Structure 1
Amino acid sequence: MASSLDATDIRLLRELKENARENIASLSKKLGIPRTTVHYRIKKLVDEGIIEKFTVKPNYKKLDLGTTAFILARYDPDSGLTQREVAERVAALEGVYEVHIVAGEWDLLIKVRAPNAEEIGKIVVDRLREIKGIDQTVTMVSFVTVKEEV
C-alpha cells in the first residue's frame, strides 16, 4: 500500500470495501474519529487515486448470470495485432468481466459470466474464438465462488 496511508486510512478502506454505502456517522463511530475527519480522509483517498470509484456488488444469480468461467487464451503474434489490442477486443465482448494479460504458457486470463455452461460455450465458440489474434483457449467453469472482491 502507499506509504502515505496510516492505520486509520487502512481501517477506513477495509470498512468501505465491506460496504461503500455506510454513512460517515457510522464510520466515525467504528473508527473512533470525528465525522469531519472521516469525510476529509475519504476525500483525500479519492483525490490521491487510492479509491478509484465507489461501486456495487451485484447478485449475479439473481441477474441470471450465475455461471462463472475462467478462460485461458493464447495470443497469435502473426495476427497483425498487438497483444494489448487483442485483450481490448476481448474485453469489449458481452459477458466478459475481466481480462488479464498474464505470464506463462498462456497469454490471457478471461473471466466470463452467463446463465449456464451452454451460454459460456457460446461466448467461447461464437465470439471469443472469432477474434483475430486468439489462437487457442481452455475453459474452466467455476463450481462455486468462495471469495470474490469487487
Structure 2
Amino acid sequence: MGEVLDTIDLKLLKELRENSRENIASLSKKLGIPRTTVHYRIKKLVSEGIIEKFTIKPNYKKLNLGTTAFILARYEPDSGLTQREVAKRIAQIEEVYEVHIIAGEWDLLIKVRAPSAEDIGKVVIDKLREIKGVGQTVTMVSFVTVKEEP
C-alpha cells in the first residue's frame, strides 16, 4: 500500500504468517471485519508487493533434512567474480536454503540443510569450497531451532 500499514493490515499479516492457508471467513472472524474487506486487503497487500508469495513450512526432520548448519565464508576478490556472482553460484547448491552477503569479518552467511552433520561436511567440501571465489569457511551445526521464519 502506498501509505503506512494500519493495525488491521498488520494483524492480517501476522495471521497469514502463522497460517497462510487460513480461510477468509476465519480471518474475518478473528479480525472482526467483513470477509469482503479481508479479501480486498489481501489482494491489495499482494498487488503492492508487501506479500510476495504464499508458501509452506515443511517438517525437515520428516523429509530427512533434520540437520541445519550455518556457514560463514570469505569471498576471494581475485577470483574474477563479483561477490554477488559468487553468492548466486552458492545459491544454486541444492542443500543451500539461504545465502546472505554480510558485513564484518566474514562476507557470506549460508544456511544449509542435510540428513546429517557428515552430509553437511560433504556439501562444504565437495560443493561449496569448489566454487570459484569461496575462500575460508567456518561451519556451525545447529543443535535446536527455537524460532525460524518460513
Name the TM-score class by shorter chain: over 0.9
The TM-score, its normalising length taken from structure 2, stands at 0.98
**Offset at 1:4?**
2.5
Q: What secondary structure does 1:130 align onto?
A: coil
Which ranges of structure 2 fall in alignment gaps of 5 or more residues? none
- Please give the per-residue CA displacement for 1:58-78, whole angstroms capped at 9, x wherever unaligned: 000000000000000000000
* Aligned pairs (5 A) from 1:1-150: 3-150=3-150
- Please give the per-residue CA displacement for 1:9-33, whole angstroms capped at 9, x wherever unaligned: 0000000000000000000000000
Q: What secondary structure does 1:43 align onto?
A: helix
% identity of equivalent residues? 81
Moved >3 Å (runs of 4+):
none
Q: What secondary structure does 2:129 align onto?
A: helix
**Distance in 2, Cα, partners of 1:124 & 1:11:** 40
**Offset at 1:3?**
4.4
**Offset at 1:94?**
1.2
- RMSD between aligned residues: 0.8
- Please give the per-residue CA displacement for 1:67-93, whole angstroms capped at 9, x wherever unaligned: 000000000000000000000000000
The TM-score, its normalising length taken from structure 1, stands at 0.98
Q: Which amino acid aligns with 1:126?
A: D
**Distance in 1, Cα, partners of 2:93 & 2:3:** 37
Which ranges of structure 1 fall in alignment gaps of 5 or more residues? none
Q: What secondary structure does 1:86 align onto?
A: helix
